[in-house]
Structure formats: structure tokens, C-alpha cells
Amino acid sequence: MEELQNVVRDGGLAVSNLPEKGRCLLTTKNFYPGEVILRQEPYVCVPNNSSTVSRCDGCFASESLKKCSACQVVWYCGSTCQKSEWKLHRLECNALSRLEKEKRKAVTPSIRLMVRLYLRRKLQNEMFIPTSVTDSYNFVEALLSHLKDLDEKQLVLYAQMANLVHLILQWPEINLKEIAENFSKFWHLIPHNEMQLACNAHTICDCELRPLGTGLYPVVSIINHSCLPNAVLIFEGKSSVVRAVEHIPEGAEVRRESMFERKNTSDYEVPLDLYWTAHKAHKPFEVSIAYIDTAGSTMTRQKALKEQYFFTCTCPRCIKVVPSWPKFIRMQQTRACVKVSTMISKKVRLWKATDAKMIDAMVFCSVILKTKDLYAKLVAFLGARKRFASRLSIAMFCFFSLLKRLIHLHLTKLNKSLIFNQSLDHEEVISLYKMIEKLQMELCHPFSISLMRTREELLKILMELGDWREALAYCRLTITGYQRVYSELHPLLGLQYYTCGKIEWLLGYTEDAIKSLTRAVDILRITHGTNSPFMKELMMKLDEAHAEASYNLSSKDE
């Protein structure tokens, strides 16, 4: 601990232990918005390769790739990346090459990451790779294991994965229990053998927050969670960079917002600007952190944190420091129909009832009666098909509780051999999402997160089709939602303004594009810095838009 303190002290930081929180990162100097708090290279990392997407092991590029001729698992974009990774891959390649070809297919990114973790430890112990205070397996050993929090089924899965790592390495002295414990430090297993990132592993994203790979950043892992983060974690290549998004006074705990893949969230509770005001009014106080998408309701966030990270958040937003809320704000938690909302709260037991009983309980609701025909059309649309795109699973969770339950029951009756990876025709997908949107507009509040998520999907599809005018309309609608659920300096809000500005410029709305791109720059220069190629491209687009506007103005004067 003392050696680590000496290392971080030069950066204006200190590591401390707090009751009920354990280790955390404190500031010993003032940090201001946009200032880099911490920068760290990964101890080990791997790209998220799959059967459909491959990336270079060195830089995570996805173009001009060549597969390693020996192991036939790892890809490189060129000799530079291959040489930079050779010390570690030399051992990994020998281990993977011993496997039968069929078994190599079972080597997922999570298995590879664990194999590379032990190979790096071996190379450091044998002094082939230098060791430092922040780049040492000792840091990994000090991380908290979650084996005691797991059920029997999860423990069995961890044991199976540990056995596969043992099979690859073939080291007689390796400890299977230690491997299983390390898996529990980095991941939380969810049903169907899928992996979900846990406390101490990080999703490496590009500048637009699209997942590229997974890495272990031990010092970054010290930073705690808050649903009101004062810093943001962004990646520059494989380097992790934590930047302040507000003034962090000396002696505060650094908290981070991690840009993990977003989850389905329930309806929005309270405007974030009110939380933000209340949060600032309570300074100075201990700073804490956040690992999930913070748009969800308190219940949604608490559930995700408990299941994935094994703790209950007590940040100002979760404990609701604002004493009372205006009636119009409380309405944002409900559906458009107060009668349905009241009925749901009083008759939760209907969740376990039959479809008929649930429908009988709602027959007197005018909103349900208005949407009955639309719901029937949606059911018919889905029932007529034996396959649907993976995206549609998102929409299935976008309805308020009872409608979601009915659609889920309908879908489970379909053939279990549904093909998720094949896309429907784009027009069919748009038709489905617009039906869902229409239902949500009737059943949900206009500021519902469920409605916002559906519109996000529609925006993506419309952009793929090149329907820019309709895409612009949906982009503007999502920005309105983002402004209510994210802080004013949230990178997702900045990126949405960037998207909006590009579409507006494409359609010839130069003045509107300048406004959107300016808002994007104002946010993203804080979260992303100003020196990355991504930010230089954004600022160049803004300059070009200004030049075009000036030219148009001068042309009119002539």
C-alpha cells in the first residue's frame, strides 16, 4: 500500500480505506472539468472476437487482418502489432496450438484473458517482462473475490471454466481454486453461460463508446461507484483515461462513470438536474463511484448493482437527498394512465395470475381498450414468424409491466429453436418498432426511458437505411430524453449531439448543425480531451460548418 501511495501521490491522488467501502481513490489537489485524473495501461486485455467479428490483438483494429498461422485463434493487422504482442503471445500460441481444433472454438475472450493473466505472471516472475507497483500480479491478488456470493450453479460454471484454463496451460502446479476465484473477481455469470462484466474488469470502448474488448486495470478498479459521477472513464486505444467532469476538491473521493454496454432500464424517476443540484449542495463530502448506465430508475440501478457488483449504492441519488418532489415529477415515474398505475401497485399478485385474470383486471381501463387492437396486431406480427432479429429482444422489454408480461408469455410459446442472429427485412423491423412505439406512447409517460430506448433502435435502423430526414426526427427526440436522464456533461449526450449535427449538415441545415456540433464539442472536449483523432475530426467538422455558413451568408449579401 505504501509503494502505491508513493506512485499516485505525484498525480495528486491518495489511496484510502473507508468503512463499508474498502479502498477508494482520494484527491490531494483540485481537479477541474476535463483534467486527467488517472491514466493506466491494461495488465492484460483481449479483443471481443466472435464468429462474426475479429479484431487485432495489438490495436483492436478490424480491417486488413491476418490470423496467426500457428494457433489459428489470434489476429493481427500487421507486423508492428504482432511484434508488440510477441512476448506474451509466444507462450499463449504454444498453449493454444496444443488444443484440438474443435476445442479451440471454446476459447472465448474471457478464457483467453485468464490464460494471459497467468502467462503474464509467469513472464514477470521470470523477469522477461518488467514489474512495477501498478503493473503487478500482486495487485490482482489483492482484489476482492466473490465466490462466497455465488450460488451452486454459478460455482459449477466457474469450476468448468477453470478446468478449461488448466487444460490450455497444462501446468501441474496451477491451483484450480485460485483460477475460479480470479474469474469471480472479474465476471459475474448469468444464465445460458453468458458472461457479464463485474467489478474489476473493464469493457474497452472506442471513442463512440462501442465495445471493442476487455481489460484489467487494477488501479482504475480502486475507484468506487456513484450514480452521480464526477469523472468519466474513456479509452484511448487500450489506455484507460479517467477525466474529471466537474470540479473535484482536494480530499474528495474520485468516483467514475464506466461506459459499459447499456441495459434495459425501467421508467425515468426524477429529472437529473434536480439530483445534480442536490448533490452539489451537499459538498464537501466523501466522493464515491458508478459502473452502470445511470439512466435507469433507482430500483433498476440498485438491482443491477446488487446482482452484478454485490453491493447496495448509497449515493445521493439513490438515497434521494431531495426531500420532496413536485407532482409533475412524480408523474414521470408512472404510465400515461394513472388508473393502471394505481391498479398495478395494489394488485402485484396478478403477476402470478393467468393472462385472463390480468386482462380481466384491466378491462375497465380506457388506455388498455384503446391499445387492444394495436397489441393484437403486434402479436400477430410476431406470431407469423419463426425467427426475429436479436435487436427485437430489446423491444420485448420496453413495455410497462403487465403488457411486457403478456408479450413475454406469447413469445415463450414460439419454437425454442428461434434464430437470433439473422436479421429481418429492415422494413419489417421498422414496422415492428413503430408498433411498439405507438403502444408505448399510449401506455407510457412521454419521458419514459422505455420509449426512449425504442426510439434509439429506430434511429439506428433508419440511419442504416439512409432515411436521414426521419432519422433526424428520432435523433432529436432521443436528445430530449438524454437531457432528462443524463448529466449535462455526459459523453452519451455529447455523442448524440454529434450524430444530430452530422445528419443536419448532411440535409443542408447548416445553422442547426453548427448548434448541435457546438454542443457536442462543449461536452466531448471535457470527457474525451482535445488531442484524439476523434475530437480533431469533430472540431474540423464544426469549423467546416462555420465556413459553409459564412459562405452562404456572403452569397446572400451579393
In contact, 439 and 406? CB cutoff 8 Å: no
In whole angstroms, give the CA distance from residue 116 to residue 45: 8
In contact, 278 and 316? CB cutoff 8 Å: yes
User: In what helix (H) or strand (E) does residue 163 lie, and over which residues does it extend?
Assistant: helix 152-169
pLDDT digits (tens, 9 = 90+) for 439-487: 778 777 788 888 898 899 899 989 999 999 999 999 999 999 999 989 9
- The model carries a pTM of 0.81
Q: Measuring CA to CA, how many Å separate 123 from each of 92, 159, 184, 187? A: 11, 25, 23, 24
Range ranked top by mean pLDDT from 10-14, 332-336, 408-412: 10-14
Of the listed ranges 83-97, 218-232, 541-555, the one predicted with least confidence: 218-232
- Between 242 and 423, the more confident residue is 242
The secondary structure of 64-111 as a DSSP string is S-EE-TTTSS-EESSHHHHHHTHHHHHHHHHHHHTS-HHHHTT--HHH
pLDDT digits (tens, 9 = 90+) for 254-305: 666 554 444 444 433 445 554 444 444 444 334 445 778 888 888 888 888 8
Domains for the chain: give ranges and CATH numbers.
Answer: 86-197 (no CATH), 337-444 (no CATH), 467-558 (1.25.40.10)
Q: Does residue 284 sit in helix, strand or coil? A: coil
User: What 8-state DSSP symbol labels residue 529?
Assistant: -
Kindly report whether the peptide bond that precedes residue 47 is cis, defined as omega within 30 degrees of 0. no
In whole angstroms, give the CA distance from residue 494 to residue 514: 14
The secondary structure of 459-528 as a DSSP string is HHHHHHHT-HHHHHHHHHHHHHHHHHHS-TT-HHHHHHHHHHHHHHHHTT-HHHHHHHHHHHHHHHHHHS
